[in-house]
Copies of this chain bind each other. A is one copy, B any other.
Amino acid sequence: MDQRLDFITLATPDLDAARRFYRDGLGWVPLLDVPGEILFFQVGRGLVLGLYDAAAFVGDLVDTVGGELVPVGPAAGPTGITLSHNVGSPAEVDAVVERMRGAGGRIRKSPQQAAFGGYHAHVDDPNGVVWEVAHNPGWSVAADGSVRLQPVE
């Protein structure tokens, strides 16, 4: 099994609010937009973030041909996860956080020194999806896409 993630799907109670935030507020270009159902954005090389109507999300996890019965939670938004957007400087962290706030985001953790040695903030999107905006001086990506992580002094 290749060590690869291709697609991330988030249960989204309010797709219209998500559209206003990502498309109208942040200026992101949808890969696919089916109102009331799904909203896809490409967020990396071969990587898509899919916002999926929360009720449909739960419905899609139901096994229709057998398998183990696994309880499915309520149609709420994602918890227990953060999505991170890395930038090149603390000033860029501040700027992106302001952009997200202007687009309707809610600042959960204001920009500050991070435990990993860099500088970061956390902003909730209108559906409660937590984005970390981070400057990590130890993070770099080589030409072949390899991530390098070095301890920050």
- Chain A interfacial positions (CB closer than 8 Å to B): 1-11, 26-29, 31-32, 40-49, 54, 57, 60-68, 70, 73, 76-86, 96, 99-100, 106-110, 112, 115, 122, 124, 130, 132, 134, 139, 141, 144-147, 149
Chain B residues lying within 8 Å of A149, measured Cβ to Cβ, are 31-32, 40, 48
Cβ of A129 to closest chain B Cβ, rounded Å: 9
Contact (Cβ within 8 A) A76 B80: yes
Using known A-B contacts A1-B27, A1-B99, A70-B124, determine if residue A65 contacts B110 with beta carbons closer than 8 Å: yes
Instruction: Establish whether residues A145 and B96, one from each chain, have CB atoms under 8 Å apart when the complex forms.
Output: no
Copies per assembly: 2
CB <8 Å contact, B107 and A67: yes
A83 partner residues in chain B, CB cutoff 8 A: 5, 7-9
